[in-house]
A and B are shown apart, each in its own frame.
Chain A
């Protein structure tokens, strides 16, 4: 083997090791469990709000009726897509309520962590059915809440703070060997590779959202001349708090516009190094908190902040959790070595 071959071989081996380390180093689930509760609650809220005016969005008399919704996506007016929804074919009111009741039920179970391995997948499938049917009535909240639920559904996110965990602790002693399916359905509170995979997928997806969100803005003139923020806050239909006094402070709103654009484009570079991570996440809290408070999209803003919490190390939460649990009663959790 020549020196050059050895160098290439070392490089490839090193790259594979880094890939393995990034994707397959097991981690605990505290961050995911917290996100499961928040995502489940947001999804549930969205379904309940829809239920308050169900016939306006689902069924044959909806604003966009069943046949139109299907025609918009099945190739009638544009190239066909792989989109499909069971809700296209339900015309009866009782059928719609049954479908939506099922959606609410599995989402509630996912939120509280009841048979989460099953209800998580069902909640995501039910959400896809709704999304494909609600074509034309969707916005950013629907995207981020769906992605979050999707990634959580492949993780053992019910290992803590869930009905599954309560049931597991009630039924088994810490040293008991459990069957494979029981460990799958009622996961142990231990480090897991799938927790890492779900975490990484959501982290990368967030980076993609911000990168292309920023690049799309960079094609506009207002994001460069600094007036975009003014035109966002002066939009009456979005406004939930009047910020039009900003018209007297162009230095302020143009500055905020520039910072927002640069943060969004460079989020992908700022969020991975520990030294800049807190700046990236702090900006996310500020920007999305502003959207939640002033632009009438509390649900979207809060969900984006919650999704950013995926960058919080579960070990931090675990330390805090174990300290508190020790204080309350002797624990049943396994203590992984700190990394």
Chain B
């Protein structure tokens, strides 16, 4: 006797069910394929409209299911690391000493260290120089008001992250702190082979300044490349996703 539950014929799905499942599969595959495609089509004017149009029916599903990633690991080029330095704003003798994260001495196991590392990289990616208060007047009609609003929003976002990180350490230590960003630069392999410079050589650590945008450089020749250069940022004026998923594994 053939067991109904295990009969191979019974495992074949009816046609209508196969059709319904196929529609769901195609929708899901669109949500898998289109976000990284959109990520690569991002330019100074935003994402390719055709890809955004294709993505729109599944965009919200992709976002919720965490499918809206770029998969740009160590890309387009491996770059320097970014660290966060926490300095207590007090001269008291018993004030806590400055801290830097990520730090293998403080964070163990490695996975925990890596979470701190990603926060420091995220803060660095989120950085935007601040705009002068009278930027609108200085820039005039050379740049759409919406563009200036986006810049201000990006800066507010960075300020909020700084405030959150500060609050975390202040809640721990009970003293106000100052948060700054440090770039750990990479030695060139030719120089490294010649000089055997240590990877932790102090010369390779640079404190990144918090700057105000040079408005004149922005408005001079109003070309997108120059705007980006003046802002010290890549082509990310209209982000597809809030997280610039990206250049770290």
Please list the residues of chain A having a beta carbon within 8 angstroms of any beta carbon in chain B: 19-20, 23-24, 26, 45-46, 49-50, 52-53, 56-57, 61-65, 68, 71-73, 77-78, 81-84, 128, 131-132, 134-143, 146-147, 150, 175, 177-178, 183, 188, 190-193, 197, 201, 204-205, 208-209, 212-213, 215-223, 227-228, 230-232, 234-240, 244, 246-248, 250, 253, 291, 295-300, 334, 336-337
Contact = CB atoms under 8 A, between A and B. Distances in A.
B193 interface: yes
Contacts of B107: 53
Interface stretch (B29-37, B140-148, B215-223): B29-37
Contacts of B242: 72-73, 77-78, 81, 135
Nearest to B150: A78
A50 B157 CA distance: 25
A19 B22 contact: yes
Nearest to B107: A53
Contact of A188 (B5, B64, B70, B79): B5
Given A136-B161, A236-B81, A237-B184, 16 more contacts: A62-B168, A65-B164, A65-B168, A134-B115, A136-B119, A137-B118, A137-B119, A138-B243, A140-B73, A204-B29, A213-B71, A217-B72, A232-B78, A296-B113, A298-B110, A300-B249
Main secondary structure of the interface of A (DSSP, over half): helix
A136 B119 CA distance: 5
Give the most central of B5, B36, B165: most A CB within 10 Å. Answer: B5
Contacts of B22: 19, 23
A221 B112 contact: no
B3 A291 contact: no
Contact of B160 (A68, A135, A219, A295): A68
Contacts of A223: 75-77
Interface stretch (B6-14, B87-95, B130-138, B206-214): B6-14
B85 interface: no
B249 to A, nearest CB: 4
Nearest to A304: B249
B149 to A, nearest CB: 11
Contacts of B66: 128, 131-132, 142-143, 146
Given A216-B71, A234-B186, A61 B25 contact: no
Interface string B208-249: 000000000000000000000000000000010111000011
B70 A177 contact: no
A236 B184 contact: yes
A213 B75 contact: yes
A234 B75 contact: no
Contacts of B178: none
29 contacts: A24-B18, A26-B8, A61-B168, A63-B119, A65-B168, A68-B160, A78-B239, A82-B64, A128-B66, A136-B122, A137-B116, A137-B119, A191-B8, A208-B71, A209-B36, A216-B70, A217-B75, A219-B40, A219-B76, A220-B75, A222-B77, A228-B77, A231-B186, A234-B189, A235-B80, A236-B199, A246-B189, A250-B189, A299-B110
Given A231-B186, A247-B192, A212 B71 contact: yes
Nearest to B201: A236
A209 B73 CA distance: 10
B113 to A, nearest CB: 8
Interface of B: 1, 3-6, 8, 11-13, 18, 21-22, 25, 28-29, 32-33, 36-37, 39-40, 59-61, 63-81, 83, 102, 107, 109-119, 122-123, 153-154, 156-157, 160-161, 163-165, 167-168, 171, 184, 186-187, 189-190, 192-193, 199-200, 239, 241-243, 248-249
Contacts of B77: 220-223, 228, 231
A220 B241 contact: no
Give the most central of B33, B66, B83: most A CB within 10 Å. Answer: B66
A137 B125 CA distance: 12
B243 A77 contact: no
A84 B51 CA distance: 24
A35 to B, nearest CB: 18
Nearest to A336: B8
B193 A232 contact: no
Given A215-B40, A222-B77, A237-B81, A84 B160 contact: no
Contacts of B109: 49
B163 to A, nearest CB: 8
A174 B13 CA distance: 23
Contacts of B1: 175
A231 B78 contact: yes
A150 B31 CA distance: 14
Nearest to A66: B164
B115 A205 contact: no
Contacts of A295: 249
B78 A228 contact: yes
Contacts of B60: 81-82
B60 to A, nearest CB: 4
Given A177-B3, A192-B11, A193-B13, A81 B71 contact: no
B187 A234 contact: yes
Contacts of B78: 222, 228, 231-232, 235
